[in-house]
Amino acid sequence: MIKQFLYKYYIRFKRKQYISDQKKKGTIISNKSKGYLHASFEGKNLVPDLCNFVGNIKIGYATTLGHENLFAGDVTIGKYCQLGIGVAVHTTNHPMNYMSTYINNNLFKGELKTLKETSKVSIGNDVWIGHNVIIVGNVTIGNGAILAAGCVVTKDVPPYTIVGGVPAKIIRKRFPDHIIQEIEALQWWNLSDAELEKIKPLFFKNFETANSIYE
């Protein structure tokens, strides 16, 4: 009984200390979220209420999450991404080629959990993920992609591409290939604040009919 009390007190203290340490880096974490001790944050992140982190989760600089986001497995998210409410990223799956998909403790004391399949989801930089998007399996999301609200992503999404639907399909590219190549080469998400200030006018240009981002 005493051990349980001390353990709970220790975990409570550790969570409080972690939230405080992250705040010094500009990252705000709600104490109503869970599992954030197992996640890494690069700084200036926002973790609102009821987010859940299970596994190896890496969140890039200035990426902000939405309420009730779930990350399970091996997940890496780049810089300057924005996620809507109810986004779920799953890189684990129940075993489908065995006798049963059931892996809870009620069967063989949970020994079947060892059969769980684990893959990886990698999300690039400057990606916009709409409300209630689900991302599953071994998937890579390119820089600048847009995932429409409610879609289920089961395959790779190319850079600067808009996808939607169940399962998600390509709707269109955001820009012509030559514009995409210029943005990819610029890699603005890796620039310092001072460097970003110098190219600030680029962020206010409409590239829909542009021949170059620099024109």
Which are the catalytic amino acids? 94
DSSP reduced 3-state for 123: strand
Integer CA distances (angstroms), 147 to 88, 124, 127, 159, 173, in order: 12, 12, 8, 11, 12
Q: For 208, left (φ over 0), alpha (ψ -120 to 50), or beta? A: alpha
φ, ψ of residue 100 in degrees (nearest 5): -140, 155
In angstroms, the CA 173 to CA 163 distance is 9
Residue 11 CA, chain-centre distance (Å), reads: 25
